Amino acid sequence: MNTTASPSRVPYSTYTDPEIYREELEKIFYRDHWCYVGLEAEVPNLGDFKTTFVGERSVIMVRNKTGGISVIENHCAHRGVRFCQKSHGQTKDFVCPYHQWNYDLEGNLIGLPFRRGVKVNEGGTIKIQGGQPADFKMEDHGLTKLRVETYNGLVFASFDHSVESLQDYIGPKVLPWVNRVFDGRKLTLLGYSRQRIPGNWKLMQENIKDPYHPGLLHTWFVTFGLWRADQKSQMVMDEHYRHAVMISRRNEGGAGSVTQGVTSFKADMHLQDDRVLDVVPEAWWKGPSVTMMTLFPSVILQQQVNSVSTRHIVPRGPNEFDFVWTHFGFEDDSEEMTRRRLRQANLFGPAGYVSADDGEVIEMSQQGFTQHPDYQTIAELGGREVGDTDHMVTETLIRGMHAYWGKVMGR
């Protein structure tokens, strides 16, 4: 295996080079792939919309007249204006403020001022001034429409209308794990957290494909028993190795052989308010208490005990991404369960007891990479091969993603 091209050795430049990043947008975010845009629960009624991103392009997810969801590019067909500046709202149609071109909820151009010019009265003669050319066709000037698929409440979109179906894209090995959480029950929206992380977008995917770190980096996880290297776990990938699931079952915490020498284990640390650890197993878990799914390239689907959320990765150049957490619940949740999910959400998000650590190490990784673009990272824990495992002492999922990345990027 050639070490520089090997998925177990990744050149730092992969994370810092603007040319590589530009190619990633074209080959990964805008072609052949599905990107997450949101939850159906965010736009329940006709005309409800949310602005979000596919790659770096601003798009609008909107509940359309047929009751379905349209995703249209937030980019006026006239002179390119990003016409919608609201993050959420409700509307009958979209009007660009510059020259008031008017689009329906599906993105079709339905009106524009002075299309047939302006009538003037010159000494009793009516004349027409200006207007669009006679061959101007409304249907040629709609907004860019993305292909959209929804799946049990999740909404994905693609600029590439020839992309395979969403279910084929997720693949038969990962789909059952998606189904476990998104089993068709109606979702309810609980709230958002947002953060801007000064690191490359792939580092976030890698963080959730990395079972090596949680039991070491996260003081909170280790001390309160939500994650330990010896807990029963499983790493699963799709056939292309681009998506993955880390599945595990929590243990009861406390000291044990595996916490010896782990400096993040704090025997004397106690919670003043332990309601955040009020974990109640739910019937749909069917065993595992944690499943972290990375759907390449744009989203992480999180189930950490009773906390469920999507985490949207929005790239902003090679050195930065926005990370948007959407916390949700299920329609049949009791009031008490909703409170529990909200409380446990304190582990996550930018200031989460656990996730704050990840944001920080990703920033620190990027700092290291910019120092030596010609060096490479090592991901050889558990060997240099790529394959599913029944334990977490491995970096196989990271190798898998880079094997796929190399194929798509031709590098």
Query: Which residues of this protein are in contact with ligand FES, per CB under 6 A?
Result: 76, 78-79, 81, 83, 96, 98-101
Question: Which residue has 């991404």 as its token pair?
Answer: 321
Contact between 395 and Fe ion by CB under 5 A: the answer reads no
User: Of 102 and 219, which has the nearer Cβ to ligand FES?
Assistant: 102
Instruction: Compute how many other C-beta atoms are within 10 angstroms of the C-beta atom of residue 272.
Output: 4
CB 354 within 8 A of CB 348: yes
Kindly state whether residue 358 participates in binding Fe ion, applying the rule CB under 5 A.
Answer: yes
Q: Which residues of 245-261 are buried (b: 16+ CB within 10 A; e: fewer)?
A: bbbbebbebeeeeebee
Q: In the complex, what is the shortest distance from the CB of residue 374 to Fe ion, in angstroms, rounded to a whole number?
A: 28
Q: Return d(Cα 229, Cα 280) in angstroms, integer.
A: 22
227 is in the binding site of which of ligand FES, Fe ion, none (Cβ under 5 to 8 A by kind)?
A: none
Shortest distance in whole angstroms from residue 83 CB to ligand FES: 6
Q: How far is the CB of 100 from ligand FES (least distance, A)?
A: 6
- Residue 4 C-beta-side C-alpha neighbours within 13 Å: 6
The entry of ligand FES, Fe ion, none near residue 96 (CB within 5 to 8 angstroms by kind) is ligand FES
- Judged by beta carbon, residue 42 or residue 358, the one nearer Fe ion is 358
What is the residue-wise DSSP string for 221-264?
HHHTTS--TTS-EEEEE-TTSSSEEEEE-----S--GGGTT-TT
* Least distance in angstroms from the C-beta of 283 to ligand FES: 51
Cα distances (angstroms) measured from residue 69 to each of 38, 60, 142, 312, 384? 11, 10, 17, 18, 43
Q: What's the closest the beta carbon of residue 143 comes to ligand FES, in angstroms?
A: 10
- Contact window for Fe ion (CB under 5 A) among 8-16, 224-232, 356-364, 367-375: 356-364
Backbone φ, ψ for residue 25 (5° rounding): -60, -45
Which of Fe ion, ligand FES, none binds 358 (CB below 5-8 Å, type-dependent)? Fe ion
Task: Identify which of residues 93 and 385 has a Cβ nearer to ligand FES in the complex.
Answer: 93
Binding partner selected for residue 115 from ligand FES, Fe ion, none, CB under the kind-specific 5 to 8 Å limit: none
- Alpha carbon 354 to chain centroid distance? 19
Q: Interface with Fe ion by CB under 5 A: which range of 52-60, 88-96, 143-151, 358-366?
A: 358-366
Query: Which residue's structure tokens are 């070491």?
Result: 216
Applying CB under 5 A, the residues found at the interface with Fe ion are 358
